[in-house]
């Protein structure tokens, strides 16, 4: 059902809802983007409001290639970049490009729950692959692919988030990155690498992407400016082989509508050219690093010793593992009665019955004081999960 609200998220006074993986609205660069939009009209006039180049405006594509040269171990040539309306559209386009009806898409779980929603909108089978605390397990991937092939099913695509993963915050170690890319190349599997959180590294630079390690054209990387500038701009990008980019840019969707997000992409290019982009990323990183540290310190103070959690080096999320006998549904209800929200682990699994007792906390949207308060509410809910 479509609600009349202007935004997807609405704030309920008194509630601290750590279920939303969104930037803090007070950190969004409203004035800088207003100024950039004015400059776009000064520079481009009506061309800013025309149907755009299907691949995306060249100034933004050039910025993306320059930025990747700084943030990743490999940049892309302009022919390897397509501007999209966010990583979400990137995933939808990649699935359309790679998957035939009846094919199987693999995802390592836990994974971004709304990516599951996007993939489920396609006429395909979705199969989960187990991971450990660091990410996808290669022997499990091998086992699942072999088993599917013996059933004459066609595993064609693997969706994965190797860097500052949603929902755990963890990153895949270097040796497993190499092995994963090699496995995909040897098994005719296209990796769709969701690289949405690359810019938000708090301790050291983000690891090289799978795209950077790939020499066989087996990785399609999804990038996004939702977390490094603003989600409402709806600007992201794909890096892939020139052949894949060409097929997407000449497909019916972009032939009919032109560039996926032309005006926003021009505003972003103008904003980046002024140096505001790098400054904004630093602003987000400083704020979120403090929030992460505050949340981790509060968990240290408020969680029972039977509970463990991840210590993410980037991104938005901490994953909390609860004792095996925890009734997560009762805990979620108890937390709600304490005016606290989070996402229970089951949402991040293709098969929810296989999910462990765990939950995801997002630390991006709330102040350090709210995060400390939220953690004390979680501690109280854990003590009395049947209160609700």
Ligand X SMILES: Cc1ncc(COP(=O)(O)O)c(C=O)c1O
Given a contact cutoff of 8 angstroms between Cβ atoms, the answer to whether 336 and 377 are in contact is no
Tell me which residue has its CB nearest to ligand X: 86
Nearer to ligand X (CB atom), residue 21 or residue 385: 21
Nearest to 222 by CA among 183, 257, 260: 260
Report, in Å, the least distance between residue 218 CB and ligand X: 20
If the CB atoms of residues 221 and 302 are measured against ligand X, the closer one turns out to be 221
Question: Token pair of 349, please?
Answer: 């699994």
- Report in angstroms how near the CB of residue 363 gets to ligand X at its nearest: 13
Half-sphere exposure of 361 (CA within 13 A, CB side): 29
Residue 10 neighbours by CB under 8 Å, 6+ apart:
none
Least distance in angstroms from the C-beta of 165 to ligand X: 8
Based on CB atoms, which residue is closest to ligand X, 196 or 280?
A: 196
Dihedral in degrees, nearest 10, Cα atoms 348, 351, 352, 358? -50
Q: How far is the CB of 21 from ligand X (least distance, A)?
A: 4
Least CB distance to ligand X at residue 86 (A): 3
Neighbour count for residue 30 (Cβ, 10 Å): 10
Nearest Cα to Cα of residue 178 among 155, 207, 149 = 207
The per-type count for the chain, helices as H runs and strands as E runs, is 13, 14
| CB nearer to ligand X: pick between 338 and 348 | 348
> What is the DSSP-derived secondary structure letter of residue 50?
S
Contact 211, 162 (CB under 8 A): no
* Cβ atoms of 191 and 180 closer than 8 Å: yes
Cis, bond preceding 167 (omega within 30 deg of 0): yes
**DSSP letter assigned to residue 217:** S
How far, rounded to the nearest angstrom, does the alpha carbon of residue 367 sit from its chain's CA centroid? 21
- Give the whole-angstrom CA distance, residue 92 versus residue 212: 22
SS3 category, 83: strand
Q: CB of 63: closest distance to ligand X in angstroms?
A: 16
Nearer of residues 50 and 114 to ligand X, judged by Cβ? 114
Report whether 298 contacts 3 (CB < 8 A). no
Whose Cβ is closer to ligand X: residue 82's or residue 226's? 226
Contact criterion met (CB below 8 Å) for 261 and 234: yes
Q: Least distance to ligand X from the beta carbon of 91, Å? A: 7
Strands 135-136 and 125-132: antiparallel
Q: Smallest gap, in angstroms, from Cβ of residue 84 to ligand X? A: 8
Would you say 116 or 371 has its CB closer to ligand X? 116
* Contact positions vs ligand X (CB under 6 A): 21, 86-88, 112, 161, 166, 194, 196, 224, 226, 231, 236
Round to whole Å and give the CA distance between 295 and 299: 6
Task: List, in order, residues 6 or more apart from 353 with CB less than 8 Å away.
Answer: none
Instruction: Report, in Å, the least distance between residue 215 CB and ligand X.
Output: 25
Q: How far is the CB of 179 from ligand X (least distance, A)?
A: 22
Q: With respect to ligand X, which residue has the nearer C-beta, 145 or 229? A: 229
């Amino acid at each position: 059902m479509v609600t009349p609200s202007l935004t997807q998220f609405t704030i309920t006074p008194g509630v601290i809802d750590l279920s939303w993986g969104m930037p803090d609205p007070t950190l969004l660069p409203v004035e800088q983007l207003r100024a950039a939009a004015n400059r776009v009209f000064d520079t481009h006039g009506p061309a800013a409001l025309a149907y755009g180049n299907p691949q995306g405006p060249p100034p933004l594509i050039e910025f993306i290639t320059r930025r990747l040269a700084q943030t990743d171990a490999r940049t892309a040539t302009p022919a390897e970049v397509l501007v999209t309306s966010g990583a979400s559209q990137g995933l939808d386009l990649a699935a359309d490009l790679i998957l035939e009806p009846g094919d199987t898409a693999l995802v390592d779980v836990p994974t971004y729950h709304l990516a599951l929603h996007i993939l489920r909108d396609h006429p395909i089978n979705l199969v989960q692959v187990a991971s450990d605390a660091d990410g996808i397990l290669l022997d499990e991937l091998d086992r699942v692919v072999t088993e599917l092939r013996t059933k004459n099913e066609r595993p064609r695509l693997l969706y994965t988030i190797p860097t500052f993963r949603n929902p755990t915050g963890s990153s895949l170690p270097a040796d497993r990155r190499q092995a994963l890319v090699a496995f995909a190349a040897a098994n005719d599997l296209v990796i769709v690498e969701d690289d949405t959180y690359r810019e938000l590294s708090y301790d050291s630079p983000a690891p090289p992407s799978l795209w950077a390690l790939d020499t066989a054209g087996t990785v399609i990387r999804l990038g996004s400016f939702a977390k490094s500038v603003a989600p409402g701009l709806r600007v992201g990008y794909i890096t892939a082989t020139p052949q894949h980019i060409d097929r997407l840019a000449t497909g019916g969707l972009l032939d009919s509508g032109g560039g996926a997000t032309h005006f926003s992409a021009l505003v972003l290019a103008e904003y980046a050219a002024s140096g505001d982009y790098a400054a904004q990323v630093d602003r987000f990183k400083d704020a979120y690093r403090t929030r992460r540290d505050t949340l981790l310190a509060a968990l240290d103070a408020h969680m029972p010793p039977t509970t463990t959690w991840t210590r993410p080096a980037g991104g938005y999320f901490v994953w909390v593992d609860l004792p095996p006998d925890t009734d997560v549904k009762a805990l979620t209800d108890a937390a709600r009665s304490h005016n606290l929200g989070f996402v229970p682990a089951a949402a991040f699994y293709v098969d929810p019955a296989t999910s462990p007792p765990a939950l995801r906390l997002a630390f991006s949207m709330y102040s350090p004081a709210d995060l400390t308060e939220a953690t004390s509410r979680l501690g109280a809910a854990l003590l009395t999960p049947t209160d609700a």
